[in-house]
Amino acid sequence: MELNPQTELALGKAEKLPLGKLHAAQYLVAAILVILSIGLWRLEVVSADNFRAMAEANRIRKVPVMAPRGRLFDREGRLLVDNYPSVSCYLLREQVKDLSADLPKIASGLHLTVEQIEAALKRFQLSPKYQPIPLKQDITPDEQAFIEAHRNELPELETLEEQRRVYPRDGFAAHLIGYVGEISEEDLNKEKYAFYQPGDVVGKSGVEATYDALLRGVDGSRDVIVNSHGKEIGHLGETMAKPGQDLKLTIDLDLQIAAEKAIEGKNGAIVAMDPHTGEILALASRPTFDPNQFSVRLSKSYWNEILTNPEHPLLNKAIQAQLAPGSTFKIIMSVAGLQEGVAQLMHVPCNHGATFYGHYFSCDRNHGMVTIDNAIPYSCDTFYYTLANRLGIDTIARYATSVGIGQKTGIDLPDEVSGTMPSTAWKLKTQHEKWYAGETISVGIGQGAVTATPIQLARALSGIASGGVLRRPHVVFPDEVPPDQLEAIHETFPGSGEKTIPLSTENWQIITDAMYNVTSSPIGTAYAARLEGIDFAGKTGTADIVGGREKNSKNKNTIPNAWFVGMTPRRNPDIVVAVLWEHGYWGNNSARLASGIIDTFVEKQRKRANNIRIAAVAPAPVTAAADSEDAAPKTSGADRPTNPLLRSLAARIMESCWLRLHWMHNL
């Protein structure tokens, strides 16, 4: 059908867009093109560096390089604690979006449970996604092989080489050294651990805890190139880790071995200290534990074994056992009595005890007439009952407090306890009751409410034997620690510190001579522990506990605790040893343990002194040139070399003088 020209013209006008709409469409298309061009320009030019960096980040992984902890040595440089190479498994959350599907396979390959992995994920749920989660420490070779074999399937698993602690076997010096472990959520909330992260290994007790900031070092990192499966294919750079600082402890390995052997199989503690400096020469506590069990993830079975042990193996009894000191307290009573001008005037008849305030207080023996000179060797309770009654509790407390009883010593080990020194004010504050005079009688022999720790007694009695000079005990040489950190440690572990108490020379001699008679005189309570040729002094203590003194009782908890504090020489001692043997009965049993350590110390000192003398007097080697008359011009007078006979005579005179000076020093 053909249309006439007029009809075609009408239809063309109907189909043609209005000019305004056409222009609007053109402008819209142009605007869209401009926007797209601007966006493309921003992507390709302006943000090119940012996106390039993001792309690099997708293929570059920052792997931490763990700093090895500083090693620990004894005072002579002998290694005590070291590190060993170990491999740990970490989980990388950035590699996969959903971990739940892989958990059963991961658990099977690493010999874990799904619940253990889920617990680890929960612990780190608030930490950044880029932070690796430690799944298992010290993995076995077959577990490493599992990870390598499943790299493509499980790209979220990564291994990391670390240095792990290795401690002496059988719990040797465990309470002194301490142990390390993974930081807990509770610790992370403390100010001390503000810069620590979940999964960090920190010191938990002992030296490891006190000096953690020095020992842990600074971790480094390694930038590696990885493919889409997380496999390492290249290496870009590394920030080296800074190892922790090595520390030299004050302990003497030989004395520590002697102390460990002496206390083995018993419950209690031994402390050996240098009274001149406060350096701890040995510290042992029993029962002990294996710190190697704590250096990796602690097993539930071992932890339950520790917790359910009624002897509390984690308790450092050298600084935490608060027990009645028994008759070792009589030395402090003697100081109080002599300084107050009371004890030297006392002549007390002992007939197996005496009555005070209507109550009979017994004594082990009938000592007859007792004075201050024989009261200490006899360890006569009747004498000290009488002395306590004359002095009164507040005078006793004043002198006991002055030597550190009832106060922390400030030793640089965590969780030291203060013990108790009762007084009228103490009882009113703690029990809201008045002090009765009859209570003072038991305090006079180190019983009643008074309690002390082995480190307190070692420091107190060695301070008295040193003329009243008390040093702050420590287990790390102060020059090993930066001054600011040393000051912080002193603030962290407050105590009675360095101090001097008034003690007259006459009273000092009376007390130290009496302590010498404890071990050297047949009337002394520790005569069986005497050491021939050694100026060995000390004081025993048999501390009764609730239930009475029953040596052969089936219930060992009724058997008294055996104390001894001994030293050599008797005045200005070079070493003091405090022994607590729980339920060891008589104090002379502990005296035998202490005598072995004293003997080890003296023998070592004698060998060292002998070697020094031999080196000092050894004749110079004769050379060929010295034999020739033409080797050197002849000299006269003081410049002329002495002949061998004169040199030998001079050496004998020097040795004789040295021995005399040493003997006078020991006196």
Three-state DSSP at 564 gives: strand
**Angle, nearest 10°, between helix axes 330-339 and 454-465?**
40
**Per-residue pLDDT at 666 exceeds 50:** no
Which stretches does DSSP call E strand in 469-520?
Answer: 469-470, 499-500
Least confident of 222-226, 444-448, 524-528, 547-551: 547-551
The residues pairing with 160 across neighbouring beta strands, listed in sequence order, are 88
pLDDT tens figures, 472-500:
999 999 999 999 999 999 998 988 888 99
| In the block, residue with structure tokens 């994920």 | 121
Which stretches does DSSP call E strand in 125-187?
Answer: 133-136, 157-166, 180-182
| In the block, residue with structure tokens 């009475």 | 548
- For the record, the structure tokens of 432 come out as 């809201």
Whether the CB-CB separation of 243 and 577 falls below 8 Å is answered with no
pLDDT-derived band of residue 121, with 50, 70 and 90 as boundaries? confident
Three-state DSSP at 441 gives: helix
pLDDT-derived band of residue 407, with 50, 70 and 90 as boundaries? very high
Three-state DSSP at 281 gives: strand
Cis upstream peptide for 287 (omega within 30°):
yes
pLDDT tens figures, 64-98:
777 889 999 999 999 999 998 888 888 887 766 67
Q: What is the pLDDT of residue 659?
A: 38
Q: What is the pLDDT of residue 628?
A: 36
Q: What is the largest distance, in Å, between two alpha-carbon atoms of the chain? A: 158
pLDDT tens figures, 269-280:
999 999 999 999
- For the record, the structure tokens of 75 come out as 């005072």
What global pTM score does this model have? 0.79
In sign, the C-alpha dihedral spanning 658, 659, 660, 662 is: positive
The residues pairing with 60 across neighbouring beta strands, listed in sequence order, are 225
Query: Smallest Cα–Cα separation from 470: which of 277, 334, 271, 332?
Result: 277
Three-state DSSP at 208 gives: helix
Cα atoms in the Cβ-side hemisphere of radius 13 Å centred on 403: 30
Whether the CB-CB separation of 470 and 498 falls below 8 Å is answered with yes
- Torsion angle of C-alpha atoms 250, 294, 292, 254, degrees rounded to 10: 20
- For the record, the structure tokens of 299 come out as 């097993």
* Contacts for 433 with CB less than 8 Å, ≥ 6 apart: 427
- Cα 101 to its chain centre, rounded Å, is 44
Amino acid at 44: E
Least confident of 150-154, 424-428, 607-611, 635-639: 635-639
Domains of the chain: 61-248 (3.90.1310.10), 253-287+318-606 (3.40.710.10)
pLDDT tens figures, 167-224:
999 999 999 999 998 887 777 777 777 778 777 888 999 999 999 999 998 887 777 7
Q: In what helix (H) or strand (E) does residue 615 lie, and over which residues does it extend? A: helix 587-617
Q: What is the mean pLDDT of residues 386-415?
A: 96
What's the rounded Cα separation, in Å, for the pair 121 and 135? 9
Q: What is the mean pLDDT of residues 416-437?
A: 95
Whether the CB-CB separation of 465 and 573 falls below 8 Å is answered with yes
The residues pairing with 69 across neighbouring beta strands, listed in sequence order, are none
The residues pairing with 226 across neighbouring beta strands, listed in sequence order, are 232
Q: 416: burial class by Cβ within 10 Å (0-12, 13-18, 19+)?
A: buried
Could you tell me whether strands 247-248 and 72-73 are parallel, antiparallel, or unpaired per DSSP bridges?
parallel
Q: What is the pLDDT of residue 629?
A: 36
Q: 127: burial class by Cβ within 10 Å (0-12, 13-18, 19+)?
A: middle
Share of the chain above pLDDT 90, in %: 54
What's the rounded Cα separation, in Å, for the pair 445 and 292? 42
Most confident of 113-127, 446-460, 624-638: 446-460
Amino acid at 19: L
Whether the CB-CB separation of 408 and 496 falls below 8 Å is answered with yes
Q: Residue length, the chain? A: 667
Neighbours of 574 (CB within 10 A): 17
Give phi and psi for 275, each to the nearest 5: -65, -20
What's the rounded Cα separation, in Å, for the pair 384 and 202? 49
What's the rounded Cα separation, in Å, for the pair 386 and 266? 35
Three-state DSSP at 48 gives: helix
Q: What is the pLDDT of residue 92?
A: 81
Cα three-residue angle 90-92-97, rounded to 5 degrees = 145
Q: What is the pLDDT of residue 137?
A: 81
Neighbours of 386 (CB within 10 A): 25
Q: What's the Cα-to-Cα distance from 38 to each of 50, 218, 258, 573, 596, rounded to whole Å?
A: 17, 47, 83, 88, 90
Q: What is the pLDDT of residue 638?
A: 35
* Contacts for 626 with CB less than 8 Å, ≥ 6 apart: 632
**Per-residue pLDDT at 458 exceeds 70:** yes
Cα atoms in the Cβ-side hemisphere of radius 13 Å centred on 408: 16
pLDDT-derived band of residue 655, with 50, 70 and 90 as boundaries? very low
Which stretches does DSSP call E strand in 72-192?
Answer: 72-73, 79-91, 133-136, 157-166, 180-182
| In the block, residue with structure tokens 């997380």 | 230
Q: What is the pLDDT of residue 376?
A: 97
pLDDT-derived band of residue 536, with 50, 70 and 90 as boundaries? very high
522-558: string of b/e by CB count within 10 Å (b at 16+)? eebbbbebbbeebbbbbbbbbbbbeeeeeeeeeeeeb
Q: What share of the chain is helix, strand, coil (3-state, %, to 5)?
A: 45, 20, 35
pLDDT-derived band of residue 232, with 50, 70 and 90 as boundaries? low
Whether the CB-CB separation of 561 and 581 falls below 8 Å is answered with yes
Three-state DSSP at 41 gives: helix
Q: In what helix (H) or strand (E) does residue 5 lie, and over which residues does it extend? A: helix 5-15
Higher pLDDT, 300 or 512: 512
- Torsion angle of C-alpha atoms 587, 592, 593, 596, degrees rounded to 10: 150
What's the rounded Cα separation, in Å, for the pair 592 and 574? 19
- For the record, the structure tokens of 641 come out as 């070399």
Query: Smallest Cα–Cα separation from 319: which of 116, 458, 149?
Result: 458
DSSP alpha helix (H) spans, 309-392: 317-320, 330-339, 372-378, 381-391
Share of the chain above pLDDT 70, in %: 81
